[in-house]
Amino acid sequence: MKNTLKVMLFAMMAIGMMACGGKEVTQEDLKTAEASLFNADQTVNEAEAPKVADTYCRFVKQHPDDSAAAQWLYRAMEINVFLKDADKSIKLGDQLMKQYPQSEWAPMSLFLLGSYVYDSQLNDTAKAHVAFQRLIDSYPESELVDDAQMSIKYLGLTPEEIMERIMSQTEVEDTVSVATEE
């Protein structure tokens, strides 16, 4: 009877650990995960990338008050953007904005959501606009504000259309500059 009880207790503990994300993630685990993210030729190891992102997320879950938690969450988001997992990217971006709105990673996550997830992956210019505008309104001192404003200006345009607009604007500026000099 005692052996059966011990086996059941051990099984329950093992199930509990798996449900809570497994073992404690340490700084060494983060370094190991980071090292496994890239192949020898510095390309992303796509087979390892989801595991690396999961390690980062588990670290944040286990250590939400760690000074680098926002950075690890952002890195997990970056990996999911690279993997084109829009749903997971949005979830992680929202989590970062909710848990760490004052971190340096918050405006970067909004820009990443706006440009790569909503605009490029999902072709949802309305949500991209919202992400960029939120960055502009919430982080007016961010160095990404100009990029967000420019992104809003060119939302929904093809690369060719963007180049055409930039070239025509440059021509107008050159014409004005020459006229002013005369």
Domains with residue ranges and CATH for the chain: 2-181 (1.25.40.10)
What is the residue-averaged pLDDT of the chain?
87
pLDDT at 33 over 70: yes
Q: Are 112 and 80 in contact (CB under 8 A)?
A: no
pLDDT at 174 over 70: no
3-state secondary structure of 58: helix
Residue 181, pLDDT score: 62
3-state secondary structure of 38: strand
Question: At CA 27, angle to CA 111 and CA 92, rounded to 5?
Answer: 30
pTM over 0.85: no
pLDDT at 7 over 70: no
At 140, list the tokens.
Answer: 């007016």
What is the helix, strand, coil percentage profile of the chain, to 5? 75, 0, 25
In this prediction, residues 19-43 reach a mean pLDDT of 85
Question: At CA 63, angle to CA 77 and CA 18, rounded to 5?
Answer: 80
